Structure 1
Amino acid sequence: MTSDHAARVRGEAIPRERVAAFLSGGSASPSRGAGNCATSPNGAARADRQRQRWATQVVITDELARQACAQRSLAPPDVVLPMRQLTVPEPDVATLGSIIAAALTHSPAARALLTDLEREQDIPESAVRDYYDRNRDRYLTPDALRRGIDPYDEPAPTDIHPYRHVRHGIESELRQAAAHRAFFTWLDEARAEVEYAEGYEHPGDPTHQDHEHHH
């Protein structure tokens, strides 16, 4: 692999400049999981290298998603990983991890692929009903909440939103969760074909000297 490349994605070279441009474009800094280093000179240098590795993963996710969109005949995104300042929502970081959350925030291709995966998910009616029955606390009416009703102690029917009123929202949540799982699976498989240059490995890869991974 030449020194000009951060990685190769199925033979496609990812220039180091593309990773540097993403970092300098003001993307959200990687949070817990991309390396947590002390403020000493050595610690700061290690943190910078881990940020570079983190940014490489975001850029690679964008490139893999662009290729997947082409394979699926989805409309090709008109930009490659926007470099403008975008804030990655903290709830997404907590749920998805900082790499995927940043990729979905910055990459139109990743969002297009996730949307296509969501359309493919089949959520059985039994799964929707089961979720409703097991999470009755989520469907108490405002009045029942004010009165402190226990949703699992045979509340009155009027204390819980009817299934027919909340069914669509539950199905949407379950379909989105299933799409995220499908996205994780796709990305794990797609990244197996990526070749990394030294210093651009996955930040959680235990084989490099800066490895420090948290969940």
Structure 2
Amino acid sequence: MSVARPVAAEALGTALLLAIVVGSGIMGERLAGGNVAIALLANSIATGAGLVVLILVFGPISGAQFNPAVTLAAWLHGDMDGRAAARHVAAQLVGAVIGVWAAHAMFGEPILQLSTKLRDGPAQGLSELLATFGLVGTIAGVQRSRPELTPVAVGLYVTAAYWFTASTAFANPAVTIARSLTESFAGIAPGSVPLFVTAEIAGAGLAVAVFGWLLKKDVAA
């Protein structure tokens, strides 16, 4: 397969993911009448369902990572070389920003925005670390035991993680950076981004270490 197709798949898939995340956040907030729980429910269901579809579509082309933390885990595990991983991350970052802009355009919002929604503090950082740890662990475990169920497992995990984490589980540095460019329900202030990204990378690294040990195949004596 040429280099261009996996890169294009990662960019397009990540763009569609962010369009789902931000677009469903805008729609949920508009229809919820001020009820944040209903808006979050709509946002989480749309994101989880969308992820299942996107992974099924783009998985055979690029692996459907859509997430620098997942790409980092794949590189650390030896499933990708450094150049391929760097191309994936670059595509994910570009695609994520385009997806946010597309969501703004669909809902008649100003294309260029900056969020003012602060998400700071140790609890938020811990939430992102654990959310990303769980996501990478989910992928590693299910790919070993039932790889055909990976899209469903990821979608279900992300939907659940919206609700069991204080941060609503961004669990994705590209998503975090792009969501700083929207003042909508899904936004995060640029000043909060470093905490989230650092925690997400740490969570991915920790998951590689822990699940690499847990899932290691025993060598027969």
TM-score, shorter chain, exceeding 0.5: no
Shorter-normalised TM range: under 0.3
Bigger helix share:
2
**TM-score for both structures, normalised by structure 1:** 0.24
Bigger strand share:
1
**TM-score for both structures, normalised by structure 2:** 0.24
